[in-house]
Structure 1
Amino acid sequence: MPPSLILRAAPILLLMVLLGLWSLACTVLAIPDFLLPSPMAVWHAGIEAYDPIMMHAFQTLLTTLSGFALAVIIGVLLGVAVGISPLFYRACYPLMVGFNSIPKVAFVPVLVVWFGIGTMPAIITAFLISFFPIVVNVATGLSTLEPELEDVLRSLGASRFDILKKVAIPRALPYFFASLKVSITLAFVGSVIAETVASNLGIGYLMMSASSTMNMALVFAGLAVIGAMGIVMYAFFSQAEQHFTAWAHRGTHAP
């Protein structure tokens, strides 16, 4: 088998091995389905509840992308400000670090009081948990411009805006796309956390409802759907990264 084909098939092969070990453990140890359902039980539960799962999955995807889009907009703006302004960095960065240290699940009861049960707490939680990596990576990408290069550009007549637009921002794109791949997975975490306690729609709500009736196969089916959506979105931004920053990954395999 060609090495390139092995690399492409490696995730699928590993998944098949893990599913085989999972199924073998459930059979040999006679684990009941209400504790750990077998992969086939999870598959059948997903097929039987296909329509509800798709409805809740669409809701989770919508809230996740909404919170993520908000995180991208605010994260880029803050990242640019932090990256180009030493004063803004010293004033805001410590506060953002402290804010990011607070578990975001602690905000969910507050958001319920402010916005009620529904979609808004999930969107805001997805935003809160995913915007910080974007700020950090954008600021890092902008602040790593070599002083010598900046001096040369200014001696050639380039303004600060020209340097930012034509050199600093393009150099920061690999950092930006790396942050998107991290943040989109965190956004799913935030949405599901909020849906478990502050929503009547979404995969998180579906999993809580299923667990209350000990339908663990449906719970695991929900987990599988979340994982699949996360993989798809990660792959999307990974492809976008390779397309827009091919110059930064020439001769390498971007993760």
Structure 2
Amino acid sequence: MTAEAGTNGTMTVSTPSALGLTLRNLLPPTLSILAFFALWELTCRVFQIKPFILPTPSASFAALIQYAPAIREHALQTLFTTLAGFGLAVLAGVALGALVGLNRTAYRALYPLLIGFNAVPKAALVPVLVIWFGVGTLPAIITAFLISFFPIVVNVATGLATVEPEPRDVLRALGATPWEVFKKVSLPRTLPYFFASLKVAVTLAFVGSIISELSASNRGIGVMMNQASSSFQVPLVFGGVLLVSFMGIALYALFAGLEQRLTGWAYRGEHD
């Protein structure tokens, strides 16, 4: 945002165009990703690294294109289990986070349990989930849920517990109901924490799905990577890694866009 002097001596404020803001937001990450792939490609070629040790990005993308029909099935399976587990984590995380954040007794009682639960390696639970639910989709969904649940609970609870008391006291003095106080003060103040947790949790959900698929599934990118590594198709293994990364980036960008649209007021502007 810039200020300019008008012809009549008044000051006019000009704001950057939507296209300019979009380019400003997209250009740095795009350039950094391209630079990363260029450095990776150059390193492999200059040092003549064997493809079965570290394939080039071009070889990994070529493998994805070559096996695209089969990869599509695996990718859709992983995306489904990730989103299903993530959706459950959002529902349960918001509910429990609200309880913990609004009730001090619940905070003292449940927070140690949450810390202990989060300290358990989720990969160690996959064999147990297989015993309970068998090999397939359900263990992957549950693993994605378990690994993405904690950040949502903690951020929602923190957002609600750290709301300044003054605005709430003012609204109560004006006769506002508890629901009105929550809607006008607590909810807006918690949204930045909530969206921050979503950006972290959705990437963790992918990790949970892949962990389960590597040992307890018959479909998914994790299964594809296992099969490719067993036949020494290392470019396809790295292609699977890149595919999961791109899906994670896409979902992260989706929630970042929603965050900017709904909670842009909570962050400092470009001119600050």
TM bucket (normalised to shorter chain) is: over 0.9
**TM-score normalized with structure 2 length:** 0.88
1:98 is the counterpart of 2:122: no
| Aligned residue type for 1:96 | L
Q: 1:17 pairs with 35, 42, 65, which one?
A: 35
Larger Rg computed on CA atoms: 2
Q: CA RMSD in A?
A: 1.7
How far apart are residue 14 of structure 1 and its match?
2.0
- Larger displacement relative to structure 2 (82-91 or 156-165): 156-165
Q: Note the 1:63-74 alignment, pairs <5 A.
A: 63-74=81-92
Alignment partner for residue 128 of structure 2, among 100, 103, 110? Answer: 110
- Partners of 1:7 and 1:180 lie apart in 2 by 20
Instruction: Work out which of the residue numbers 146, 151, 159 in structure 2 matches 1:133.
Output: 151
Name the TM-score, length of structure 1 as normaliser: 0.94
Distance 1:145 1:20, change over 3 A: closer
Q: Following TM superposition, by how much is the alpha carbon of 1:251 offset from its aligned partner in structure 2, in angstroms?
A: 1.8
| Cα separation, 2, equivalents of 1:252 and 1:177 | 20
How has the CA–CA distance of structure 1 residues 138 and 18 changed in structure 2, closer, same or farther, with 3 Å as cutoff?
same
Cα deviation for residue 44 of structure 1 reads: 1.5
State the shift of 1:69 in Å.
0.3
CA separation of 1:18 and 1:90: change in aligned 2, threshold 3 A:
same
The partner residue of 2:94 within 67, 70, 76 is: 76
Residue 124 of structure 1 pairs with residue 159 of structure 2: no
Question: Which deviates further from its counterpart, 70-79 or 37-46?
Answer: 37-46
1:20–1:246 distance in 2 versus 1, CA, 3 Å: closer
Pairwise CA distance, 1:250: 5.7
- Where does 1:192-211 land on structure 2 (aligned, <5 Å)? 192-211=210-229
Deviations 1:14-61 (A, max 9, x none): 222222222222222221111111122112111110111111011000
Aligned mate of 1:44, from 62, 72, 82: 62
Q: Which runs of 4+ in 1 moved over 6 A?
A: none
Amino acid of the structure 2 residue aligned with 1:89: Y
Task: Map 1:164-203 to 2 at 5 A.
Answer: 164-203=182-221
Secondary structure, aligned partner of 1:168:
helix
* Fraction of identical pairs, as percent: 57
Q: Give, in whole Å, the separation in 2 of the partners of 1:246 and 1:23.
A: 38
Q: Which residue identity does 2:133 align to in structure 1?
A: F
Q: Is the alpha carbon distance of 1:3 and 1:115 closer, same or farther for their aligned partners in structure 2, counting shifts above 3 Å?
A: closer
Q: Is the 8 A contact 2:167 2:185 kept in 1?
A: no
| In structure 1, C-alpha distance between the alignment counterparts of 2:179 and 2:40, rounded to whole Å | 56
2:244 is aligned, of 226, 236, 244, to 226
Which residue of the other structure, out of 79, 83, 102, is the alignment partner of 1:61? 79
- Residue deviations 1:220-254, cap 9 Å, x none? 1001100010010000001111111132236249x
Q: Give the AA of the match of 1:70.
A: L
Q: CA deviation at 1:7?
A: 5.1
Contact in 1 for aligned 2:148/2:205 (Cα 8 Å): yes
Give the AA of the match of 1:9.
L
Q: 2:235 aligns with which of 210, 213, 217?
A: 217
